[in-house]
Amino acid sequence: MKFQGSHILSVSQFDRDAVTRILDVAKRMIPYASRQKQCHVLQGAILNNLFFEPSTRTRVSFGTAFQLLGGFVHETVGQESSSLTKGESLVDTARVISGYADIIAMRHPTMHSVAEFASGSSVPVINGGDGANEHPTQALLDLFTIDAEMSRFGQGIDNLNICLMGDLKHGRTVHSLSKLLSLYDNVHLTLVSPKELQMPDHVVSILDDAGHKVTITDTMAGNLKSDVLYQTRIQEERFSSKAEADLYRGHFSLNKAVYEQHCKDNTVIMHPLPRDSRPEANELSVDLDDNVNLAIFRQAQNGVLVRMALFALALGVEDKLSQYERDVTWYSNKAK
């Protein structure tokens, strides 16, 4: 696929070669993200980071990624601080904002809203999450993480057993990740959720069409002996009320005792974060924080690499990185 000048709206736009290319460019970003070198290939370029729904990791790592490549970041946080509240359309907003920037990252609570916005934009738009629809950059960083974690055991992504657990109905990260996994060979997906929060049929169909084995269940016992266990949060913001979300909280809490009883010795634990650490949910207990297979913070860190790669590819500078490289002049414990 042609990346330069393209919007990144859905994982459906990628084939396996495109994903491999993104992950390869992401690996080339490690020296810059780990402060062994700095790179100013995007010096003078402007990112507009439009976040109309709460975010910590996606928003900050988009900004960090752009700045690590030398660019400037302008932020808009919350619909209440934009003229969308005055009835301005997403398309008009895009026409205006894209005149102020070289690239835009956007999160919005409504499904397909980022694509609607992109239709009015003259610069590439990257989807940072659109309602319960998709979160393509999260899926790419998840795939990067699965690849990196499984390389410790000499395995790639093909032939893995992967368990997705939690709110699979509303969790856009598991929708996007499942679609990306459909590009690989012979993956066994075990989908653990309450019956009411099962993976949407259209996503299961994609996995079926890829020839993957898919197991759908609402019990943990006997179903967590996977290579990767990807836990997700009950997406309270997608329910009609907190009381409705509360019905499902705490059903699939993953803690040390559950891990030791039901998982393999080396099952890699992933979670897109934020994890809900309130006692009634405690979906991923801190008593697993010392487990070497808990990849959640490495996963969040990998988001910077993947987003740097997407910026470089969309702005056509992925082959110019070393030309714009220089030494780091400050003390950094990251470079150790």
Please pick, from the candidates 6, 34, 36, 55, the single residue that binds ligand CP as defined by CB under 6 A. Answer: 55
Cβ contacts of 129 within 8 Å, gap of 6 or more:
53, 55, 58, 107, 108, 135, 138, 172
Binding flag, residue 29, ligand CP (CB under 6 A): no
Pairing of strands 188-192, 268-270: unpaired
Which segment (11-19, 248-256, 271-279, 310-318) binds ligand CP by CB under 6 A? Answer: 271-279
Q: Between residues 124 and 272, which has the closer beta carbon with respect to ligand CP?
A: 272
**301 scored as a contact of ligand CP (CB under 6 A):** no
The label of the residue with tokens 């080339």 reads 28
Output DSSP code: residue 165: E
Rounded to the nearest whole angstrom, what is the least distance from the CB of residue 53 to ligand CP in the complex?
A: 8
Size of the site for ligand CP (CB under 6 A): 10
Residue 110 falls in the annotated catalytic set: no
Residue 163 and residue 257: Cα distance in Å, rounded?
18
Q: Which residues contact 111 (CB under 8 A, 6 or more apart)?
A: 130, 131, 132, 133
Cα 137 from Cα 270, distance rounded (Å): 16
**Residue 217 CB, nearest distance to ligand CP (Å)?**
25
Task: Tell me whether residue 262 or residue 272 sits nearer to ligand CP (CB atom).
Answer: 272
- CB neighbours of residue 332 within 10 Å: 11
Among 7, 108, 135, 172, the one annotated catalytic: 135
Check residue 166 for interaction with ligand CP (CB under 6 A). no
Rounded to a whole number of angstroms, the minimum distance from the CB of residue 225 to ligand CP is 26
20 tagged catalytic? no
Q: Which residues are catalytic?
A: 57-58, 86, 107, 135
Interface residue list for ligand CP (CB under 6 A): 55-59, 129, 138, 272-274
